[in-house]
Amino acid sequence: MDKKVEATPSLTMKRRLNASPAEVYRAWTDPKLLARWFGPENVETIEAEVDPRIGGVYRIVMLENTGERHQVSGVYHEVVANERLVFSWAWVTTPERVSRVTVTLKPDGEETILTLLHEKLFDEQAVRGHTHGWTGSMVKLEALFA
């Protein structure tokens, strides 16, 4: 009997960054650096806690320019320094909607190709919202290394 595999929405984005994989990895795992770029253009990261080891937890609190607070957290499932991070992702307002983020870093000369895969999203609306958030974050991350 065939079991139907239900596909869940996901998004993928790639960026070429003017930094080494070690520098980009540090931007994801150093809370002070993470706070400088994480979140779209209308958001400031006001708290960032990271424990980048398998089973370690992260928590990020953002403040929108409207005054609205957003908090996301999760657990690291894979941590390969300067190469790969895999972690769960859940908003404090919808803790039952756990998705998964994979960040892969590949050296390309003096630069790094970052591939971000955010999968197991709840629905297409979640894909649109997260695409907006990640796109804005990637613009800020590129600027960090400009």
Q: How far apart are CA 51 and CA 58, in angstroms?
A: 6
Residue 59, both tokens: 């928590």
Per-residue pLDDT at 3? 52
Fold of 21-144: Alpha-D-Glucose-1,6-Bisphosphate; Chain A, domain 4 (3.30.530)
Q: How far apart are CA 116 and CA 34, in angstroms?
A: 15
Residue 130, both tokens: 């997260």
Partnered with residue 74 across adjacent β-strands are 58
Domain ranges of the chain: 21-144
* 64 φ, ψ (degrees, to nearest 5): -75, 155
Q: Output the tens digit of pLDDT for each of the chain's 146 residues.
A: 445 555 789 999 999 999 999 999 999 999 999 999 999 999 999 999 999 999 999 999 999 999 999 999 999 999 999 999 999 999 999 999 999 999 999 999 999 999 999 999 999 999 999 999 999 999 999 999 99
pTM (predicted TM-score): 0.94
Q: Tokens 């649109």, residue?
A: 128
* Residue 118 contacts residue 130 (beta carbons within 8 Å): yes
